[in-house]
């Protein structure tokens, strides 16, 4: 029997941002934070294999209101004519979603949820708005570390096929060499992404995490083995953000044998169980300010 309801809502001054509000059939828990789930890349608000639909309904059964948002220019939402920069447009959309939840549903706080780019948008926004009290980050972008490179190249040295390719003049090493690069570059083997050779990129991310932690956010971060070109061990977030004092505000998990989009039912069930347990057992701060400045 269905225990939740879904409703289409339109957000923002132009009502151009489309979202689905999911809530329990009974009254939501009075002090339970609302949950906002953001897009992964250009994937529609249902998520990979309808992952976000299932997750939102399971969370709503706990007493939370859940909002699955199509950011501007994605899915059913129109592009914003007033903001050209994609990041700033996404941050403005998140603010509109929170404004709607406070005005229309009377919530007192919000937890942001995102996978990949959705996680990045969440961490960048969180420290700018005191109404955000928690983050569920799935495979967020983090810089490589010395241990990351050691794991990355060490694991490949153990593959017999890589040695066979090397002796035959094939494989990534020789392709990199043919391009006259002084050494194999990890970025040659990964999808296009921000360059962490740029100190400003690393500093930007570190500042975002620091701001989120200082504002009292509770963080639940899950990393998977399916994104090996970016991270490959559990503590990489801590090693990459050494100046951020997470303390007891961070719960960290690593799904070594899981793909990036949690395709298999067992991985998804494990993730959903952890998310619900974290929401049930975490004590969130009471936001003191409800009218933040523009992001």
Residues ≥6 apart with Cβ < 8 Å to 117: 39, 40, 41
**Phi, psi of 10, deg, nearest 5:** -115, 130
Q: How open is the CA angle 287-216-208, to the nearest 5 degrees? A: 115
Q: What is the pLDDT of residues 255-277, one digit of tens each?
A: 999 999 999 999 999 999 999 99
Q: What is the pLDDT of residues 211-252, one digit of tens each?
A: 999 999 999 999 999 998 899 999 999 999 999 999 999 999
Residue 123 has pLDDT above 60, yes or no: yes
Q: What is the pTM of this model?
A: 0.85
Query: Which domains are assigned to the chain?
Result: 4-144+203-281 (3.40.50.1820), 155-189 (no CATH)
Residue 25 has pLDDT above 60, yes or no: yes
**Phi, psi of 5, deg, nearest 5:** -125, 150
What confidence score (pLDDT) does residue 154 get?
81
What confidence score (pLDDT) does residue 148 get?
93
Q: What is the pLDDT of residues 190-202, one digit of tens each?
A: 444 557 777 888 8
What confidence score (pLDDT) does residue 184 get?
42
Q: What is the DSSP string of 170-195?
A: -SHHHHHHHTT-SS--GGGGS-S---
What confidence score (pLDDT) does residue 206 get?
95
What confidence score (pLDDT) does residue 186 get?
42
What confidence score (pLDDT) does residue 125 get?
97
Average pLDDT over residues 162-183: 52
Pairing of strands 4-11, 66-69: unpaired
> Which DSSP state fits 225?
G
Token pair recorded at residue 220: 């639940």
What confidence score (pLDDT) does residue 188 get?
40
């Amino acid at each position: 029997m269905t225990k939740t309801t879904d409703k289409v809502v339109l957000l923002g001054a132009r009502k151009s941002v489309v979202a689905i509000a999911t809530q329990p059939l009974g009254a939501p828990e009075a002090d339970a934070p609302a949950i906002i789930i953001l897009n992964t890349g250009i994937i529609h608000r249902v998520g990979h294999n309808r992952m976000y639909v299932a997750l939102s309904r399971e969370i709503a059964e706990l007493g939370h209101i859940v909002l699955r948002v199509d950011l501007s220019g994605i899915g059913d939402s129109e592009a914003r004519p007033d903001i050209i920069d994609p990041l700033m447009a996404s941050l403005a959309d998140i603010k509109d979603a929170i404004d709607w939840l406070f005005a229309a549903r009377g919530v007192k706080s919000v937890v942001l949820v995102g996978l990949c780019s959705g996680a990045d948008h969440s961490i960048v926004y969180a420290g700018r708005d005191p109404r955000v009290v928690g983050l569920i980050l799935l495979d967020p972008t983090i810089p490589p570390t010395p241990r990351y490179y050691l794991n990355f190249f060490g694991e490949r040295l153990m593959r017999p096929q890589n040695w066979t390719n090397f002796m035959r003049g094939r494989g990534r090493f020789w392709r990199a060499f043919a391009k006259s690069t002084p050494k194999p570059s990890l970025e040659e083997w990964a999808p296009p992404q921000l360059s962490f050779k740029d100190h400003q990129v690393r500093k930007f991310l570190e500042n975002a995490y620091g701001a989120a932690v200082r504002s009292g956010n509770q963080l639940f971060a899950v990393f998977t083995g399916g994104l090996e070109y970016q991270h490959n061990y559990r503590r990489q977030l801590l090693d990459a953000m050494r100046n951020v004092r997470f303390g007891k505000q961070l719960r960290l998990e690593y799904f070594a044998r899981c793909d990036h989009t949690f395709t298999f039912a067992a991985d998804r069930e494990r993730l959903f169980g952890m998310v619900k347990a974290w929401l049930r057992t975490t004590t969130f701060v009471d936001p003191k300010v409800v009218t933040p400045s523009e992001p």
